[in-house]
Amino acid sequence: MRILILTHHRRFKAAWRCLSLARQLARRGHDVTMLCTADAERFRMTEYVEDGVKIVEAPDLLVGSMRSGWDPYTIFRRMHWLKDAQFDLLHAFETRPASIYPALSLLKRRKVPFVIDWIDWWGHGGLITEHRPRWYQIVFGGIETWYEEHFRTMADASTVIARGLGHRAEGLGVKTDSIFWIPNGCDPKLIEAVGDQNFRPKFGIPDNAFVAGFSALDVTLGVDTVFRALSLLKDRYPNIRLLMTGKKDDSLMAAVDAAGVADNVTHLGFVDVEDYPKALSCVDTFVVPFGDRIANAGRWPGRINDYLSLGIPIITNPVGEMSTLLASHKIGLLAPETPQGFADALTTMIEYPDQRQRMGQIARDLAGSELAWSTLIDRLEQAYTFAIDHAETSTIGAGRRHTRGTPANNPAP
């Protein structure tokens, strides 16, 4: 089957979900193309093949984080590239203009099964309230929410990264049986990049330190609570350390200073692909702040799959997907969303190393089975089968595009 995966994300961000799914589809024998936004290119379309997937990078006139699916120029270039395209199924990841308008233009010329993925709860009180200034929320909040919600009922099937997004889709009129929960998956091969080596000296981490870890591409919500937890523990456990990778800015480091834990925090910033698993392997337990807020009802923490693949337990909060995951699998501890809650959980991890190691082994087993990309791809193919079966009665733009069929949702692992 010829499949087009269409995303507004830049190439490096598309790798976390879109490309991982595309690789698995290619291994199943499908002919897969992923159309994404180039990381930096402003004028040329770029095409190449990687792991059996044809990747097409569309230019964007904006720069950096502004290359997020709003540029009319990239919409035009995508639509022009697709004008003679022939695909058997279209999967749009999110519905920002750079994804939805090229998708609709293609569907008008050729009626094929249409699937929409939902990755984040952004508008309607979601991440926009955490990641954008107040003026932006006032001016663009309604537009963001409209694009996020308006097109959902046009799909023959929907895939969601979190059940909360599935419930939200139902509230918009999407039929329950057409929604497929597909969390992000794990790549157990990540551990092969580490082996049994000790990389703490490479990153300036003492061998006798107890190391908590935190990594974030762009979402650092709640990490200040972890800083305050460290301040409660640093006198009792002088060798406790927090190792951080990813987003690093002045406000984040100011929060470290305010908590009085600058000597207990090592922030590496963004590390290269080769060093990333090596840095994570230095950690004894990862902290995943996941507070009780609207955005987290529609999130699956981006880096948690890497933690599980490395066989390292986590400490998180009993909210959304994390509550369900840890209730089903003993891969870590659920803590109250308070400095004392995180401090108590860290104390347990320090004082009971055997328990910590058992949790890590369960995490690694889970990463290689139920949460492996090679397993989750079954759910995606089920979603595609559902879309194909129901596309026969579809009419683009005519509200719900399929009749009700056999429930096809998948249970949580």
Over 60: is that where the pLDDT of 218 sits? yes
Q: To 10 degrees, what angle do helices 250-259 and 223-233 make?
A: 30
97-125 mean pLDDT: 92
304-332 mean pLDDT: 95
> Is residue 409 very low, low, confident or very high in pLDDT (cuts 50, 70, 90)?
low
CB 296 within 8 A of CB 262: no
Alpha helices for 72-162 (secondary structure H): 72-82, 97-109, 128-131, 134-149
**Confidence (pLDDT) at 404:** 35
Over 60: is that where the pLDDT of 403 sits? no
251-271 mean pLDDT: 94
> Is residue 239 very low, low, confident or very high in pLDDT (cuts 50, 70, 90)?
very high
Over 70: is that where the pLDDT of 101 sits? yes
Calculate the dihedral angle through the C-alpha atoms of 272, 275, 277, 279, rounding to the nearest 10 degrees. Answer: -110
Measured CA to CA, the distance from residue 384 to residue 25 in angstroms comes to 11
Residue 382's CB is within 10 A of a number of other CB atoms, namely: 16
Over 80: is that where the pLDDT of 229 sits? yes
60-64 mean pLDDT: 93
CB 45 within 8 A of CB 38: no
Q: What are phi and psi of 218, to 5 degrees?
A: -150, -15
Strand partners, 34: 5, 55
Over 80: is that where the pLDDT of 241 sits? yes
Angle at 213 between CA 315 and CA 324, to 5 degrees: 25
Longest CA span, the chain: 67
Quote the mean pLDDT of the chain: 90
The structural domains of the chain, ordered by start, are 2-185+374-393 (3.40.50.2000), 188-367 (3.40.50.2000)
Measured CA to CA, the distance from residue 77 to residue 147 in angstroms comes to 20
Closest CA to 303 of 220, 369, 368: 220
Percent of the chain whose pLDDT exceeds 90? 76
pLDDT in tens, 3-54: 999 999 999 999 989 999 999 999 999 999 999 999 999 999 999 999 999 9
Q: To 10 degrees, what angle do helices 373-390 and 18-27 make?
A: 80
166-175 mean pLDDT: 96
DSSP annotation of 186 reads: B
Cβ-count burial 9-38 (b if 16+ within 10 Å, e if not): bbbebbbbbbbbbbbbbbeeebebbbbbbb
pLDDT in tens, 116-140: 999 988 777 767 666 677 777 776 7
Over 70: is that where the pLDDT of 394 sits? no
Closest CA to 317 of 341, 281, 344, 350: 341
Over 90: is that where the pLDDT of 398 sits? no
Strand partners, 244: 214, 267
pLDDT in tens, 175-211: 999 999 999 999 877 767 677 789 999 999 999 999 9
56-62 mean pLDDT: 97
Strand partners, 288: 316
**Confidence (pLDDT) at 193:** 67
Q: Please tell me the pTM assigned to this model.
A: 0.89
The alpha carbon of residue 158 and the mean position of all alpha carbons in its chain are separated, in whole angstroms, by 16
Q: Which distant-in-sequence residues (6+ apart) come within 8 Å of 235 by Cβ?
A: none
Q: Is 115 helix (H, G, I), strand (E, B) or coil?
A: strand
Q: Is 118 helix (H, G, I), strand (E, B) or coil?
A: strand
DSSP annotation of 127 reads: T
**Confidence (pLDDT) at 211:** 98
